[in-house]
Amino acid sequence: MHVIAASIMCADQLNLDEELKRLEEAKVELLHCDVMDGVFVNNLAMGPYVLEQIKERTMIPLDIHLATEQPSKYIDMFASIKPKYISFHVEASDDIVRDINKIKDYGVQPVLALSPNSPIELIKPYLTMVPMVLIMTVNPGFAGQKFNYQVLEKLEELNNILQKMESRPLIEVDGNINNLTIPLLLDKGVNVFVLGTSALFNQDEGSYIDKINRLKHLFIQ
């Protein structure tokens, strides 16, 4: 299974209504929504009021990524929006099991997020508790960064672990995902590809439909 997600933070923020319509027409399957607190990462994005309005205006399920300290506080803040997924960074949590269960208690699917420099061992004990893991291929915080090729080894390690599980979580990747990096990720067991400025929200010719269809063609080669 291969899923295309769009990083809505990278869209035209002054024309979100139109952007959402275009993403729906392109059959985007998830909206990846970055929430940043200015502490865990040196940037700020996206508030609950904005995500509430996005949820009201689209049928595309939300995939909220908490790049924050104290994820438990932000889970309470954003879970009422009823996204499909909420991910939090294991590096930022002081009680991973508690935060996983808190997300589940809200009726939302929990996801474990891991930064490029963090080892797989941090998430390994909890893999049976979640339906998906988010492996960052750039440092969280800013769009437009270079792809971290060292993460490929980590993804291979993770895929080898998951292959031994009866019910394996999906693997999501975020950070400079495009026509050059997707082929490198396909044989690492990656399922969900978050598209941002390098592949979707850029000035290249073509509609969102055209851009996404070209990338989906990579899945069947």
- Active-site positions read 34, 174
Which residues neighbour 220 within 8 Å (Cβ) at sequence distance 6 or greater?
none
136, containing H or E segment: strand 132-136
**The residue to which tokens 């899945």 are assigned:** 219
Q: Exposure of 16 by Cβ count < 10 A (0-12 exposed, 13-18 middle, 19+ buried)? A: middle
Q: Specify whether the CB–CB gap between 173 and 135 falls below 8 A.
A: yes
Q: Helix, strand or coil for residue 133? A: strand
Q: Helix, strand or coil for residue 123? A: coil
Which residues neighbour 177 within 8 Å (Cβ) at sequence distance 6 or greater?
137, 185, 193, 194, 195, 196, 198, 199
